[in-house]
Amino acid sequence: MTLYILRHGQTELNRLNIVQGSGIDSELNEVGYAQARAFYEAHQHVDFDLVVTSRLRRTHQTVQQFIAREIPWEQTSDVNEISWGIHEGKPMSAEQNERYQRMIASWRSGDLDASIEDGESARQLLERIERFVEWVKTRPEKKILVATHGRAIRCLITYLKGLPASEMESAEHTNTGLYVAHYVNDRWEFELENDTSHLMNL
């Protein structure tokens, strides 16, 4: 099995540095649609057996050209973005950034239960990601395209690498950045990590 793990294209809230999370169902902006088209043009030759997205529109729109080819499509909230609680829909102020950095420091120190007020913790996100990976392993498909979100990618990639969630910050992500991972002998081997070569001409 091979997973192609893709972050969604740019939204206007991304451009404006406004926090989204799972509670903000934003759409791609013009740049995001251009990124999605560039990804499709670069990977349309891949014979995907299944497309998996979160339940948020920005992931659907990013892989819409694949969905339009009537490739089987599954949506799951297990790969939704993390909930950023009271930060969602707001610009990242100095106060919010300080609160966010304290939480990240807590996660790095192993306190996975830290969260933004009314938001999800790293442990709650990890539980979703673990459930998603176990579900993927039951699938008969060989090539699966997964469209998801930045923090979800950080958690998913570290989990597939067998690293603790406290090391999530080591996994980079970019709008339409691509990870490719092969499941071989009960372990995940990475061919690409946050690849953006399809964006070179944008």
**Residue 112 confidence (pLDDT):** 98
**Residue 48 confidence (pLDDT):** 98
Displacement of CA 18 from its chain's centroid (Å): 17
What is the rounded average pLDDT of the residues 25-35?
A: 98
Sign of CA dihedral 158, 160, 161, 166: positive
Model confidence at 200, pLDDT cuts 50, 70, 90, reads: very high
As its CATH architecture, domain 2-199 has 3-Layer(aba) Sandwich (3.40)
Q: What's the CA gap between 47 and 143, in Å, rounded? A: 7
Question: Do β-strands 50-53 and 187-195 pair in parallel, antiparallel, or remain unpaired?
Answer: unpaired
Q: What's the CA gap between 165 and 153, in Å, rounded? A: 11
Lowest-confidence region among 36-40, 93-97, 186-190: 93-97
pLDDT over 90 (residue 92): no
Measured CA angle at 9 (ends 89, 125), to 5 deg: 60
What is the rounded average pLDDT of the residues 123-145?
A: 98
Q: What percentage of residues in the chain have a pLDDT greater than 90?
A: 98
Check if the beta carbon of residue 71 is closer than 8 Å to that of residue 50: yes
